[in-house]
Structure 1
Amino acid sequence: MGKLKQLSIIVFLLIQSFANSQNYYFKEYQPFNKNIPTPEEFLGYQIGDYHTRHDLIVAYLEKLASLSNRVSIEVYGKTTENRKLLVLTITSLKNHKNLASLKEKHLQVVSEKTNVTDYNNLPIFINLAYNVHGNEPSSSEAALLAAYTLVASENPKIKEYLDKTIIFLDPTINPDGRDRYTNWVNRYKGNPLIADKFDIEHNEVWPKGRTNHYLFDLNRDLLLAVQPESNARLKWFHQWYPNVVTDFHEMSTTSTYFFEPKPLSASLNPVTPNENYTSLTLTFAKQFSADLDKIGSLYFTKERYDATYPGYGSTYGDLQGSLALLFEQAASRGLVQETTTGNLSFAFTIRNQYVSTFATIKAAIKNKKLLYTYQNNFFKKAIEQASKSKVKGYIFGDNYDKNRNKAFVDLLLKHQIKVYPITKNKTVNNKVYKKGNAFIVPTKQKEYLMIRTMFETYKKYRDSVFYDASSWSVANFYNMKYGTLLKNPILKNEITLASNNITTHNFALSNYAYLISWDDYYSPAILYKLQQKGVIVKTAMQPITTIANGTKKYFDRGSLLIPVSIQNMTKDTLFSILNTVSKQHSIQIYTVNTGYSLKGIDIGSTNFVTLKQPKVMMIVEGGTSSYEVGEVWHLFEQRMQMPIVKVPERIFNRTDLQRYNVIILVSGNYEQLSKKIKDKLKQWVAQGNTLITTRAASSWVIKNEIVAESLLKTVKDSTKIRIDYANSRGVIGKQNIGGAIFKINLDLTHPIAYGYHDKEMPIYKNNKVFLNPSKSRFSTVAKYTQNPHIDGYVTPYNINNYIKKSAAIIVSEIGNGRVVLFADNPNFRGAWYGTNKLFMNAVFFGNLIKVPY
């Protein structure tokens, strides 16, 4: 065959490929501006033939912005791995020129202070958001096609859409996770394609691409605002308050396609207005079904996915006057995969997401008046509800921990909740809230529904099976003491993110010693920084009252002592280091000029024990929970600014354990650890080291006889009552603990509890690990109370037979070392500020624990 003929065939195939792409995806919107490159022309492959890397997505969208006056582009944030978070604003040239004034008019509609009834001159604002889970990639490919269509189509329909809408297209909410998955699939793509579900292409390895850099599920993070992607997205959202928000996902390969309406909230007192379910989503569903019917796609609604948790991309907007919409597409998990009804191609999954994208635009235009009327009334109705409520405000604050207070106030401010400092001490329900450490959130404000989300707790539900957590009273996440107010005092000096700062006072150079309270959330961070700089630090095993910074001051157990005379540096160098770290972590340091205390131990007491610098390792990969790994990793690096060595389970057998004095095991099956390795681990602990386990790992060390502890025995239900088969899911599912908040009782004298001042505190439980209290009378650090239930769904059976009887934290001694067992995850979703300190205490103070008999 001649070269010319070969070239002709190649050109013909390329033309056919382009034609097929046009017909398969967007035949309806032809013709297109030939000066605008298609995604295929720019990328060099047809959409659906490869998975597109995020840098190529960004490059293509930047190309569109450079060629068309229909689109502008904004980088609204960066990921941890420095990938761009961007949003395209796509609309008509006229709307672009008037965007500032249109935004102002739109925000007047959203405002609780203005009543707008004429929306004729306003376009509808739509946020098309894609790919929050990195290994659910079809939506970002659909985003490329949608962007091209909106920018390049000369079809009258598209021109009408552009005139009537302002479209914000966010192609990839989770770029770090997407690229992790994209590189996997492109690496193992078969040639020819392989549909076999057991092929490596369809089975990515740990940690998979669902999560972001720190292995967080960003679809659970929007309420909690822990990760940079979520913080950037929240900031952008509250600048625009779009009328409609989309949230595109993928689900099991064996399924079909899901769109709203979701089932009603499982809560008997839902925060989201019923109108959202009964009017808006049902109206949009008509358009979704009509468009998917045209291409023969199967779908379902009103089952499986609930709207109970307010932090999804498909629910957060519902608390802001938007209509937030969930789409779930059966995943090909690669280019093509076999199913029981035939092969499912990546291109097919992309087309469904593309069709739903334009169905959303069409439905939004058709229902403009309904959406704007709903949004115009939304915050007004919220204030009306607040006015009718007996609760006029929430007072909250911790009298000891300023940084934890700041973190919670920062979170409220990110959600546009107004917060005020108290101007004088106030007692509510026998709890004293002190000026400088306490705050008030009045309920009569536009974010009333978000305030309810932050503070209200629930114990009764209409359903017993949840897609996710059943509790999220965020004040409990922060172990924040709070009370309700039936009348607010006069509120002054509204706090802003810029003004929410912690002030530390100057302290004098000492020739003798310095003291630092262990009360603050960031106390572990300042301790590690001091150790890193070669400072010798002791901790108090008993309380001390002394003259510090010129006044009488009480220091509780765990407080840090830095004697001057024992340091391997000059007193001036030490003072300079202390000044620096105090400012870095916003923690007060106190000057002490005498060893003689007013009360309690003296500075020279043996109850001040020198602390070892922790050298921490965590087993990762294998069967470990990537979520829990990521939570610990994030806590160490981003909060405590500490290194943590992450050793893959597959090489643990050849790891030199003598490098470390703390090892962390998060939930996992640890199947790759042989009996010989388990014995090695046990011997390492016995040498004086600390092993920390969470959730399933605590069960694992018991079952593998690494510790001489036990689990509560299962109480078997002997009843044989006949139950209808159709109810089996609910009957079985309700026995799980999907995520609820319980109260524990702490031994405040134990090193694991240093820095805590209240014996009772909330903890999150989403498992069925029930630890028997330790055989040692002194080793049960925390036990669930006899009335433990605070928030979320749980059966009385589980409370009475397990939770009331079990321990939350125990310490088990092995030789000169110990294992600290947490029944639960104290670092859940990076948002449990209240229990993080328990975990960090195990890291820093574990080697202090000597169990007396």
Structure 2
Amino acid sequence: MKQIYCRLIIWLLVLVHIPALAQDYYFESYKPFNQSIPSPEEFLGYPIGEYHTRHDLVVAYMYTLAEFSDRASVQVYGKTHENRKLLMLQIASPSNLENLEKIKSKHLEVVNPEIQVSDFKELPLFINLAYGVHGNEPSSTEAAMLIAYTLVASECEEVKKYLDEVIVFLDPTINPDGRDRHSNWANSYRGQPLIADKFDIEHNEGWPGGRTNHYWFDLNRDLLLGVNPESRGRLKWYHNWYPNVVTDFHEMGSGSTYFFEPKNKSASLNPITPSENRDVLNKVFADQFAADLDQIGSFYFTDEVYDSTYPGYGSTYMDLQGSLALLFEQASSRGHLQETPTGEISFAFTIRNHYVSSIATLKAAIANKELLYKYQNDFFRNSLKKANASSIKGYVFGDPYDRNRNKEFLDVLLQHQIEAYPVSRDLKVNNTSFKKGFSYVVPTSQKQYYLVQSLFETFKSYKDSVFYDTSAWSLVNFYNMKYQPVSKLPERGKKVTADTNLVHLYKLEKSDYAYLIPYDDYYAPGLLYDLQDHGLVVKVANKAFSVNIDGKEMDFRRGTLMVPVQDQFDVDKESVYERVKEASHEFGIQAYPAAGGMTSRGNGLGSHSFQTLKKPNAMMLVEGTVSSYEAGEVWHLFENRMKIPLVKVPERRLYLTDIYRYNVIIMVSGNYGLLDKIQKERLAQWVGDGNTLIATAKGSSWVINQKIAEETLISSNTDTLSHAGRSNYNKAIGSIEKHNIGGAIFGIDLDITHPIAYGYHSRKVPVYKNNRVWLAPSKNPYSTVGKYLEEPHIDGYISKENLEIMKGAASIVVSKRGKGRIILFADNPNFRGAWYGTNKLFMNAIHFGSLVKVPQ
């Protein structure tokens, strides 16, 4: 009783901010500590909670603990875009740490579906305590330092027992780039004395905020997609260690309390994750969380708001690997001290709840060790049983033209340890042809069956219409892959590996006339810019043609690039050859030498059907009211994939910008409230003078509403509740939410003769929609590049009302204005950096927009 009373007094003192008590406030009950090991306060020079700790100091402290203690060691598992280290602090008893590789070998037997383990008593649990996936939810990383110190330095018998039973893999900062962006903000505007006023600048972080990584990606949505190095490093680590428990610590609104699992039930009719995960494992852990939070008087809630439907969160991905993945959400102080409806909340208070939950996770794991290990041991064997009981024995997929898109999709499968094999002969499945050398099969009977389901299966019916996030994640559609399920596996070659998943090119022979480069490949826009950036004249074919290459007639489609050898400005033929060869190898695209201009089909390589391309000089508006997510996706596509520079101009500075320096301007979703009438007129005039404006999603609706594009939006009456009669108030939220499109996949009919669609072979293309922007088809019959199919629904949730509107709507429209054009995307072709299937549509707008002639 006395200990509980003392803890309550300390808690009240910290709420009114007495930093000197911070250290005891967190871990007084775990004394004594090894005095030779510095505490966080001793190392940093301030108590935890006094400031936001920079990532370099967090890393330095982890290395210090490993240096001073035989209970800890550091493992670096990657680096961020900004070259910051991603690391695990491995914590265990000295003997377990010394024998970690042997223990790991025994642990991996548990996740081997061919081995049934019955005795887990001598095997420590693997616990991954992971913190800080959102950089501006900083309390968790501060708690990580406290947890690390407690486990490494405490001489308390209880802690020593933990370290005999578990091996902790502590990841202090999943998103270092975002964390430092936020830490610098919070520390820069920290008041002295502290200012709790919620309107103070400290609590209102500037655009884009620290939530996201370098390219403004939400890393908590990226694990299934594997786009960023932070996620790729984690995926590799996960599949190397297979922890029993994984934590995911977050923050939410300042007026909230504390959340722990279970989450809302999945909205899927048949969730892939076994029900035992939620109904048994989550329950026994929740009992421990509740008991420990009750002890310190913290309020909490559970089983609402957050859902487990999307398998790509930090708190859901490892549920598909036999682990228990756990979400925690703490009300945020959004700085160091902030007012809330129930009083002031301090940074120290937010840290403490995550600290307590971290310890509670260890307690619950140890108490349920047999249950956790048995569940994980059964998990993969049960998945194989389900796979073998299914009539679907595999999925055949592949694009017959685009080797790099095939390679990128295979890379994602390999990240998830999914087995794939090349098919040994040409196939036809359900009227879909698959070509040897371009096609692969994924058997369902494999360890990662649940992930295979997640990436290939599509769903249209759900038991709930309210989603916390996206409702569709069939990655095979993200990549615009032709695919079919098969009831019998075809003949296949050796398993694809990272070493064999390569694009092989033939040697490019020299030409004195021209080089031809098909535009079928995903990276063709990057190769095109590279050639232009090195001063080469490049032309594009707007008609198909055939030409003799090394004695063999070859067919080339619209969009084929031609690099003349003679018609170059001050570039000799040797330099032309070297540049084409180097660019071809850099982007993995085969180029061909043309010996002369005669074509066996077409009008010759000197025909007017070959148009000289302008090098794009692109600018994108950012900051202000612009969506940082969508802007980051474009930035990443330009730099990280296509190696093209992109100028990013703050919305607030457009009035100072000479926009005529650019021939392409990009406007992603935003309400652009900082642009006055003069700036809107400048944009309209700039387009009319012959330039290209590209707008996506809500950016398209803004351009139309401002009369810059003379197109129309289809209105919808589903914004208001127009139901006849009465309904209970508790159903109101669901009635409103069901009309939102949180994220689903639909099919469009694409005009593949249009320059925006160069490089596409099939008219049916899947697109991703997470908005209610409905473009009316253009009045000009040649300007609707993409229109939703009559039956567009492929995957994910959509209400009947929205589906009816979609059937009459356009996905891509090109609108003429003066000598220029505005290219409107109703959807987001770059969603989360993973939509390889529609990225090229967007890049074609960049490269080929100036070619578009809109007939009157």
- What TM-score results when the alignment is normalised by the length of structure 2? 0.97
> Is 1:831 aligned to 2:834, yes or no?
yes
Give the letter aligned to residue 757 of structure 1: H
Question: Does the 8 Å CA contact 1:617/1:664 hold for their aligned counterparts?
Answer: yes
> Is 1:129 aligned to 2:130, yes or no?
yes
Counterpart residue number, 1:842: 845
> Is 1:644 aligned to 2:646, yes or no?
yes
CA distance in 1: counterparts of 2:252 and 2:216, whole angstroms: 19
CA-atom RMSD, angstroms?
1.2
Question: Does the 8 Å CA contact 2:423/2:440 hold for their aligned counterparts?
Answer: yes
Partner-residue secondary structure (3-state), 2:807: helix
Counterpart residue number, 1:285: 286
Structure 1 residue 812 displacement after superposition: 0.4
> Is 1:735 aligned to 2:739, yes or no?
yes
What does 1:74-93 align with in structure 2 at a 5 Å threshold?
74-93=75-94
When structure 1 is superposed on structure 2, of 737-746 and 20-29 the one drifting more is 20-29
Counterpart residue number, 1:788: 792
CA distance in 2: counterparts of 1:684 and 1:722, whole angstroms: 52
What does 1:333-348 align with in structure 2 at a 5 Å threshold?
333-348=334-349
Counterpart residue number, 2:634: 632
CA distance in 2: counterparts of 1:762 and 1:318, whole angstroms: 28
> Is 1:580 aligned to 2:556, yes or no?
no
Counterpart residue number, 1:56: 57
Counterpart residue number, 1:436: 437
CA distance in 2: counterparts of 1:83 and 1:676, whole angstroms: 43
When structure 1 is superposed on structure 2, of 841-850 and 427-436 the one drifting more is 427-436
Cα deviation digits, residues 461-511 of structure 1 (max 9, x gap) = 111110000000010000011000100024331011121000011121111
> Is 1:68 aligned to 2:69, yes or no?
yes
What does 1:200-599 align with in structure 2 at a 5 Å threshold?
200-567=201-568, 568-599=570-601
Give the letter aligned to residue 226 of structure 1: V
What does 1:591-740 align with in structure 2 at a 5 Å threshold?
591-715=593-717, 718-740=722-744
When structure 1 is superposed on structure 2, of 598-607 and 155-164 the one drifting more is 598-607
CA distance in 2: counterparts of 1:570 and 1:491, whole angstroms: 47
Counterpart residue number, 1:7: none
Question: Does the 8 Å CA contact 1:665/1:697 hold for their aligned counterparts?
Answer: yes
Question: Does the 8 Å CA contact 2:20/2:47 hold for their aligned counterparts?
Answer: no
Partner-residue secondary structure (3-state), 1:811: strand
CA distance in 2: counterparts of 1:528 and 1:635, whole angstroms: 13
CA distance in 2: counterparts of 1:549 and 1:413, whole angstroms: 37
Partner-residue secondary structure (3-state), 1:275: helix
1:574–1:734 CA distance, 2 compared to 1 (3 A): same
1:114–1:53 CA distance, 2 compared to 1 (3 A): same
Structure 1 residue 17 displacement after superposition: 7.2
Question: Does the 8 Å CA contact 1:784/1:803 hold for their aligned counterparts?
Answer: yes
Structure 1 residue 512 displacement after superposition: 1.1
CA distance in 2: counterparts of 1:579 and 1:735, whole angstroms: 52
Question: Does the 8 Å CA contact 2:423/2:491 hold for their aligned counterparts?
Answer: no
Cα deviation digits, residues 156-195 of structure 1 (max 9, x gap) = 0000000111100000000000000000000111111111
Give the letter aligned to residue 614 of structure 1: P
Structure 1 residue 547 displacement after superposition: 1.2
Question: Does the 8 Å CA contact 1:43/1:56 hold for their aligned counterparts?
Answer: yes
Question: Does the 8 Å CA contact 2:72/2:89 hold for their aligned counterparts?
Answer: yes
Counterpart residue number, 1:157: 158
> Is 1:804 aligned to 2:807, yes or no?
yes
Question: Does the 8 Å CA contact 1:543/1:601 hold for their aligned counterparts?
Answer: no
Counterpart residue number, 2:193: 192
Structure 2 gap ranges (5+): 1-13
CA distance in 2: counterparts of 1:234 and 1:157, whole angstroms: 32
Question: Does the 8 Å CA contact 2:22/2:49 hold for their aligned counterparts?
Answer: no
Give the letter aligned to residue 589 of structure 1: A
Q: Percent of pairs identical after alignment?
A: 60
Cα deviation digits, residues 573-592 of structure 1 (max 9, x gap) = 21111111111111000111
CA distance in 1: counterparts of 2:435 and 2:693, whole angstroms: 38
Cα deviation digits, residues 799-852 of structure 1 (max 9, x gap) = 11x111110000000111000000011000000000000000000000000111
Structure 1 residue 550 displacement after superposition: 3.3
Structure 1 residue 144 displacement after superposition: 0.3
Give the letter aligned to residue 477 of structure 1: F
> Is 1:36 aligned to 2:37, yes or no?
yes
Give the letter aligned to residue 464 of structure 1: S
CA distance in 2: counterparts of 1:719 and 1:173, whole angstroms: 46
Question: Does the 8 Å CA contact 1:17/1:46 hold for their aligned counterparts?
Answer: no
> Is 1:814 aligned to 2:820, yes or no?
no
CA distance in 2: counterparts of 1:718 and 1:89, whole angstroms: 58
Give the letter aligned to residue 788 of structure 1: P
CA distance in 2: counterparts of 1:710 and 1:264, whole angstroms: 40
Cα deviation digits, residues 13-47 of structure 1 (max 9, x gap) = 9xx97872343101121110111111001101111
Counterpart residue number, 2:4: none
Give the letter aligned to residue 488 of structure 1: L
Structure 1 residue 431 displacement after superposition: 1.2
Counterpart residue number, 2:781: 777
Give the letter aligned to residue 584 of structure 1: E
Structure 1 residue 719 displacement after superposition: 3.5
Structure 1 residue 672 displacement after superposition: 1.1
1:17–1:773 CA distance, 2 compared to 1 (3 A): closer
Give the letter aligned to residue 780 of structure 2: S
Give the letter aligned to residue 587 of structure 2: H
Counterpart residue number, 2:97: 96
CA distance in 2: counterparts of 1:829 and 1:841, whole angstroms: 19
CA distance in 1: counterparts of 2:715 and 2:349, whole angstroms: 49
Cα deviation digits, residues 44-85 of structure 1 (max 9, x gap) = 111111110001101111111110000000111111111110
Counterpart residue number, 1:753: 757
Count of residue pairs the alignment pairs up: 838
Give the letter aligned to residue 834 of structure 2: A
Structure 1 residue 594 displacement after superposition: 2.1
Give the letter aligned to residue 689 of structure 2: Q
Structure 1 residue 454 displacement after superposition: 0.5
CA distance in 2: counterparts of 1:310 and 1:618, whole angstroms: 32
When structure 1 is superposed on structure 2, of 518-527 and 549-558 the one drifting more is 549-558
Partner-residue secondary structure (3-state), 1:745: strand
CA distance in 1: counterparts of 2:786 and 2:44, whole angstroms: 57
Give the letter aligned to residue 743 of structure 1: G
Structure 1 residue 302 displacement after superposition: 0.5
Question: Does the 8 Å CA contact 1:131/1:137 hold for their aligned counterparts?
Answer: yes
CA distance in 1: counterparts of 2:337 and 2:739, whole angstroms: 37
Partner-residue secondary structure (3-state), 1:600: coil
Structure 1 residue 663 displacement after superposition: 0.4
- What TM-score results when the alignment is normalised by the length of structure 1? 0.97
Partner-residue secondary structure (3-state), 1:355: helix
Give the letter aligned to residue 699 of structure 2: A
